[in-house]
Amino acid sequence: MNEQIWQNAAQASVSAGTIPMPVTNTLIELLQTIMDEKEAEFIPVFTKPMNIKEIKEKSSLNDQELDKMLDGLMRKGVITGIPSKNTGTVVYRLMPPIPGLFEFTLMRGGKTEKEKKLAKLFDQLFKELSDLVQSAYDPVIDFLKTVPPITRVVPVEQEIKEAHDDIMPYEDVKKIIERFDTIAISTCYCRHEKDLLGKPCLVTRERENCFIFGQTAEFVIKYNFGKKISKDEALKIMAKAREDGLVHKAFHVKQDINNEEFAICNCCKCCCGTFQIYYIGGAPMQSYASCLAKVDSSECTGCGACEDMCPMEAIGIVDDIAVIDEKKCIGCGVCSYHCPVSAIKMERTGIRNVFVPPARR
C-alpha cells in the first residue's frame, strides 16, 4: 500500500469541503473501504469543480480510461457529474467526507458488511471531529463563525400559511416541490447509519424521506442512489415528516440561498448529522432561518409538549409557562405545529444566520 497516495486522496477530499478536519487513520480507512488505490491516486486531480476538458488537461489517462474512472467514481458516490443549468456542460465535483461521502455511501440503504463498516467509521470520524473542536475550542469556533451555513431551515407548512403576506415563496415546502419536474427520494443516510449501529431513530419509523430535486435528482436516479417519485408522493412523505415532528432543512446550489434548492432533508435530534455533531460537541448548530417561535403566555398550559419535541432543547417550562431561548431557536416550527392549544406562533424575522456553539466539555 502506498501511504502517500491515500494521504493525498484524504487531503483532496477534505479540501473539497468547508468543514475543517484532520487527515486521520479513520478517514484513510474510510476511503480505502470506498475506493481502490487507482481511484485514490486519481482524485487529487479535483482541485475545484471541473469539466471534462479541464480534467483531461490534468490527467494522464486516455479517453476510455478516463470515462471508466469517472463512471466508477460516480457509482461509488465519490464524485458527482451534474450538468450546469446555464451551459449544460457536465461539471464534476469531488465529495468531501461530510457532507458528501457520508450521504452518498449510505443513501442506497445497503445493509452489507461494507455499509456496517462505513457506519462505524463515520461514527468514529464524528467523534474525532468533536475531539478536535474541543481541543482548540475558541479558535475553531471563531473560524466556523466565518463559514456560511450549508442548510436553511424551512418552517413547517402550517406556519407558512400563518405568516405575513410578504413571505418569500421559496420558504414554502409545497412550492419547492411543485417547482421541480424531477424529484428523487432516498434512504435517510443519517437514520440508516444509526440503524446499522443498532441505535434506531426515536422520532420516526420512516426511512425514505430525503428529497433531491432537478438535475441533482437526475444524477441520483441514474446512479441508483434514490428513486424517482411524483409530486403527490413527495407531498405525502413531507406531510408524514411534519406529523412526526421532523425539521425541514433545505440545501441550496453553491450554498447560496439566492440559488434554487437541490435537496431537502427531514431531520431529527437523535440521528441527523447536523444535530448529531452539535450534541457531541463537534460543530455549532448553524443554519439560515427566517422565523422565531413566540409563546402566548395567556394561552400556554405548561403541558411540556413543545419542550419534549424541540430538537434544539431551546424550550423550558418556568412557572407552568413555556419559555424559549431565542438564541437557540432555529425557527423550524415543530413546537408551534404540535402545540395542543396553539399557544406558540412563528414570527417572521427575515433571513438570519443562526449560530449556536456546541457545549464545551
Question: Cis link prior to 96 (omega < 30° from 0)?
Answer: no
Model confidence pLDDT, tens digit, residues 289-298: 989 999 999 9
Range name among 18-22, 209-213, 302-306 with the lowest pLDDT average: 18-22
What's 163's DSSP letter? S
The percentage of the chain sitting over the pLDDT mark of 70, rounded to a whole number, equals: 96
- CA-CA distance, 199 to 81, in Å (whole number)? 33
- When pLDDT is averaged across residues 249-259 and rounded to a whole number, the result is 87
- Predicted local confidence at residue 147, as pLDDT: 86
pLDDT at 133 over 90: yes
Report residue 9 CA to chain centroid gap. Answer: 23
Collect all residues with Cβ–Cβ distance below 8 Å to 109 and sequence separation of at least 6.
Answer: 186, 187, 192, 207, 208
Model confidence pLDDT, tens digit, residues 204-240: 999 999 999 999 999 999 999 999 999 999 999 999 9
Cell of 1: 500500500
Cell of 321: 409557562
- CA-CA distance, 26 to 257, in Å (whole number)? 33
- CA-CA distance, 197 to 214, in Å (whole number)? 32
Task: Write down how long the chain is.
Answer: 361
Model confidence pLDDT, tens digit, residues 24-77: 999 999 999 999 999 999 999 999 999 999 999 999 999 999 999 999 999 999
pLDDT band (50, 70, 90) for residue 136: very high
- Predicted local confidence at residue 1, as pLDDT: 60
Asked if 34 and 27 count as a contact pair (C-beta separation under 8 A), the reply is no
Domains in the chain, CATH or no CATH each: 3-135 (1.10.10), 143-356 (no CATH)
